[in-house]
Chain A
Amino acid sequence: MNQSIGDIVGILADNLALRKSVMPLSAKQSTAWAKGLNIPHGGTCVLYTGHMYQLLPYISTMQKQTEMVRSTPLVHTFWIGRLINKFINTTWFMARADAKQKKIYNRRLRNIALLLRKANVDFGYLYGKELYAGALVSDLGGKDILEAHARRVYAMLKSEGVKSIITVDPHTTDMLKDMYATIIPDYDIEVKSYLEVLAEKDMIPCKKNEGELAIHDSCVYARYMNTIEQPRKLLANAGITVKEPAQTGKFTQCCGGPVEALYPEKARKFAKERLEQLKATGCKEAVAMCPICLQNLEHAAETEDITIRDISECLYEAYCDDPS
């Protein structure tokens, strides 16, 4: 069992070192969400997706495949997969994302870009030059590989003249804001999540909203960087009642997502536990603000009487989706 952990970590780390992402996507796949939005190329302030939303549909498929193999003797051949992957990108063959899922995740990114535009934020996008930030390898302990990758990302940002970044998920935010600063001396890129940026603006809802939502704080937003009030402010300003589960804010309960790659059965158990807390609020809908939380809780909610939504969807409906 331990060796299969090593092989999975090894494949992800090898991919980051050799192919600049734990699961390399083509530029077409990673930038499809921006099609038709006419976001300017580059600039001093860029919206940085870090590929997290784009990767999730692929990761979901791959995890299902890995889980099936792990319960068979084939688990002992993972090392062969790692060996082959050093020469051939095996994720190209393994990962086939569901088209519907890709569309949903791309729409979430579009929502974020449109919200920023609505708030009159001036931003560009690096399109195919943008790189994955390295969160998964950092969490799995790939220090040397992460450090080399962080320097590569930073060099790219400097060569593009980027001075500030707007991120879309907590893991990329943590990497670019705090982790890179520990690796790169004189790191000087300003990093804010889109929730922070939007909360600083006096946004006016485009229609009268009502209803209530349970809120699930991401551990990384809440405990790593104290991003707690901003999503609440944006939802409340839109007229949505935010209901807090038993553990919330600084004491939020993890969705289990961080162990999904290595221990999917444990991830499912934690997601169920968290889902019970969200259900106990009495709400029929709950919002997450991290794509990993979102996916893990969505899976847990498949057979439950509660819907998990990305906060970008709720904010888009409240601030951009003018019914008139």
Chain B
Amino acid sequence: MNKATTKLLTELRKDGDFNATACINCGTCTGLCPHGLDILPRELFRYVILGLEDKVEANIETIYSCLLCKMCEANCPGDVNITANIRTLRNYINRKHFKI
């Protein structure tokens, strides 16, 4: 059983305003994604908020597959900075996993 923690979110917020908590889980982003990636960004950001780092790690390919095209962000009713959040997440993975 996973235990929720704010550790990951706190860590990411050192690198930028990771505003995933503004997400209202409406699903607009997943519906509009030209990739058809159902994990991005709504569910993924939820994993971050809950501190489920193993779930985030399991989706590294998806995280780097995002086109940063802003189709989701331009239509997000919660004004979540989705592309900035993805870049922040990549920065975290680059440092932690790829030692960049």
Residues of A within 8 A of B (CB): 1-3, 5-7, 9-10, 13, 138-145, 219, 223-224, 250-251, 253-254, 256, 258-259, 262-263, 266, 270, 273
Kindly state whether residue B1 has any CB partner on chain A within 8 Å: no
Binding site for A on B (CB under 8 A): 15-16, 34-35, 60-61, 64-65, 67-71, 73-74, 87-94, 97-100
Cβ contact within 8 Å between B100 and A142: yes
Q: Are A142 and B67 in contact (CB under 8 A)?
A: no
From B67, B73, B91, A254 is in contact (CB under 8 Å) with B67
26 pairs of residues in contact across A and B, judged by CB atoms under 8 Å: A5-B64, A5-B98, A6-B94, A7-B98, A10-B99, A13-B94, A139-B68, A140-B94, A141-B88, A141-B92, A141-B94, A142-B91, A142-B100, A143-B15, A143-B87, A145-B100, A223-B69, A223-B70, A253-B34, A254-B34, A254-B67, A254-B69, A254-B71, A258-B69, A259-B65, A270-B35
Q: Is the CB of B91 within 8 A of A141?
A: yes
Beta-carbon nearest neighbor of A262 in chain B? B64
Q: In the complex, are the beta carbons of B71 and A143 less than 8 A apart?
A: no
Closest CB of chain A to B88's CB: distance in Å? 7
With known contacts A142-B91, A219-B69, A10–B100 Cβ distance under 8 A: yes
Q: B residues within 8 A CB of A143?
A: 15-16, 87-88, 91
User: Is the Cβ of A9 less than 8 Å from the Cβ of B94?
Assistant: yes
B79 to chain A, nearest CB (A): 14
On chain A, the residues within 8 Å of B87 by CB distance are: 138-139, 141, 143
- Besides A10-B94, A141-B87, 18 more A-B contacts (Cβ < 8 Å) are A7-B98, A13-B94, A139-B87, A141-B89, A141-B91, A142-B91, A143-B16, A143-B87, A219-B69, A219-B71, A223-B74, A251-B71, A253-B34, A254-B71, A256-B67, A258-B67, A259-B67, A263-B64
Considering residues B60, B67, B74, B87, which has the most beta carbons from chain A within 10 angstroms of its beta carbon? B67
CB pair B100–A6 under 8 Å, yes or no, is: yes
- Cα-based distance from A270 to B15 in the complex (angstroms): 31
By a CB distance below 8 angstroms, the chain A residues around B68 are 139, 219, 258
Give the total number of A-B pairs whose CB atoms are below 8 A apart.
Answer: 85
Would you call the interface of chain B mostly helix, strand, loop, or mixed? Answer: helix
**Given A6-B94, A143-B91; A1-B61 close (CB under 8 Å):** yes
Report the separation of the CA atoms of residues A259 and B62 in the bound assembly, to the nearest whole angstrom: 11
- In Å, the complex CA distance between A142 and B100 comes to 8
Contacts of A254 in B (CB 8 A): 34, 67, 69, 71
Which of B15, B60, B73, B90 contacts A2 (CB under 8 A)?
B60
Q: Which residues of B contact A144 (CB under 8 A)?
A: 91
A142-B65 contact in complex given A6-B100, A223-B74, C-beta closer than 8 Å: no
Partner of B65, one of A251, A253, A266: A266
